[in-house]
Amino acid sequence: MERRKFINDLGQVTAIFCAGAYFAACSKSDDNNPDPGNPGGGNARLSANLNSELTSVGSSKINGSVIVVRTATGNVAASFVALSLICTHQGCTVGFDSVTTGFKCPCHGSEYNINGAVTQGPAPQALTKYNISITNNVLTVN
């Protein structure tokens, strides 16, 4: 095989692989986190029974593109943070690292702290933050 043809073929294979990885990372689908029901009401983005869920600091729950993380003890709204998992750079889904309690975008490396603030770009702004309410030990993200 000629060197020029080999390099050309290698470049095409690499481009196809990268395109596939890009579209997979930017997918809005979240089949790994089905909606288990909505005890918090019809308009809730996420709800959790605090008697059995989010019982320890650092624990989290995801529903679609919303995550809630327990940041402190006590069943009060201030003990939790609810954020969008959609990167503000180009819309990829960020991942939560419970060890560092931060979020990282797999597409371009943006990083966010536990409150959703950008700690490393290229993301231009913080993750969207949602309101939390707690009634009868049921946490609801609106």
Confidence of residue 4 (pLDDT cuts 50, 70, 90): low
DSSP letter, residue 125: S
Place of tokens 């709800």: 47
Distances (CA, A) of 66 to 23, 41, 71, 83, 112: 20, 16, 16, 6, 15
Per-residue pLDDT of 114-132, as tens digits, reads 999 999 889 899 999 999 9
Return the CATH number of the domain spanning residue range 31-141. 2.102.10.10
DSSP letter, residue 133: E
Per-residue pLDDT of 62-111, as tens digits, reads 998 899 999 999 899 999 999 999 999 989 999 998 888 899 999 998 99
Per-residue pLDDT of 16-46, as tens digits, reads 544 444 444 444 333 333 333 444 445 678 8
Which of 4, 58, 64, 41 lies closest to 136 in space, CA to CA?
A: 41
Report DSSP letters for 51-103, one per residue. Answer: TTSS-STT-EEEETTEEEEE-SSSSSGGGEEEEE-B-TTT-PBPEEETTTTEE
Give the pLDDT confidence score for residue 110 in this predicted structure: 93
Tokens of 8: 């050309």
pTM: 0.67
DSSP letter, residue 126: P
Cβ atoms of 140 and 133 closer than 8 Å: yes
